[in-house]
Structure 1
């Protein structure tokens, strides 16, 4: 058992300032919330300042209504030498009811850095349950897919 914080959930109300032209919460606001939860989780696990290296596979499943109670949950699902892969779920619903529905899901990679901004080692996370092993294995498969996508994308980058 560890005293490291592996997961965190941020809870707050979606405000009118978060609205888009369609009257729902703006996707950019959701992405900001995801980044905040990812940072809090990664810093809690590593005990260090962390920066976002990657946010991908963002799936906007359902819109969020202004006034909804929003829960952004982040969980370490894989650790590298200096990086942490985090599974992020955003759920929202009427604050007068207990039920929250999944609205957004993604994976974020955070890197711990030292006082000079250089990557620094993070504690290893070792999965114990079958669910955690499946999450780790999924993170590894996604990492391999990202390498292939990066290679393909290089043809689109103009120097």
Structure 2
């Protein structure tokens, strides 16, 4: 398979935030932003793989700043990492107040997408050609995030078998909760 650069699949989706997207606090609902991020991740992964893609995980959904009604929100995405059938799509979200010209970075997220063949099975995707130092940094960071996630999952699984009620109480000792068990 011929490698493809991230430039080949870069995608930007820009959408005006309308009143029906607002939550009860008057800010744009996080679910609307997640839906738009999923849409741009799909488009980016599909451009790279040439196949239907599905979302398998999302990392780092931290809403750094609120998005307002009337803002133009842009989701800029690129393929940062490629495995056999998976791709990590990095997404930077910015919101622009078109009246004031103020632009703010509201979110950076990483969507792991998997390419599917016509029968619904996973399929191999083209390797990623790294053309810039930024491409190398993004790929390396994705490898590190993947390793950290696997280590965290393994640690949580290992601790399950050794997780007694006494250890649970110890962990909760300085937390804002009260244990009142019904006997």
> Is 1:141 the counterpart of 2:138 in the alignment?
no
Give 1:131's aligned residue: 134
How far apart in 1 are the matches of 2:88 and 2:70?
Answer: 30
Q: Rg bigger for which structure?
A: 2
Q: TM-score, normalised by structure 1?
A: 0.91
Give 2:124's aligned residue: 121
User: 1:126 Cα deviation (Å)?
Assistant: 2.0
How far apart in 2 are the matches of 1:122 and 1:98?
Answer: 40
Between 70-79 and 4-13, the greater mean CA deviation after superposition: 4-13
Give 1:81's aligned residue: 84
How far apart in 2 are the matches of 1:40 and 1:75?
Answer: 10
Gaps of 5+ in 2: 162-183
User: 1:16 Cα deviation (Å)?
Assistant: 1.1
How far apart in 2 are the matches of 1:98 and 1:123?
Answer: 39
Q: CA RMSD in A?
A: 1.9
Selected match of 2:107 from 104, 116, 122: 104
Give SS of 2:128's match. coil
How far apart in 2 are the matches of 1:63 and 1:126?
Answer: 35
Deviations 1:15-56 (A, max 9, x none): 111111111001111111110000010011111000001101
Give 1:41's aligned residue: 44
User: 1:97 Cα deviation (Å)?
Assistant: 5.3
> Is 1:70 the counterpart of 2:73 in the alignment?
yes
Q: TM-score, normalised by structure 2?
A: 0.79
Residue correspondences, number: 156
> Is 1:10 the counterpart of 2:13 in the alignment?
yes
Gaps of 5+ in 1: none
8 Å contact kept, 1:5–1:41: no
User: 1:150 Cα deviation (Å)?
Assistant: 2.2
User: 1:124 Cα deviation (Å)?
Assistant: 0.6
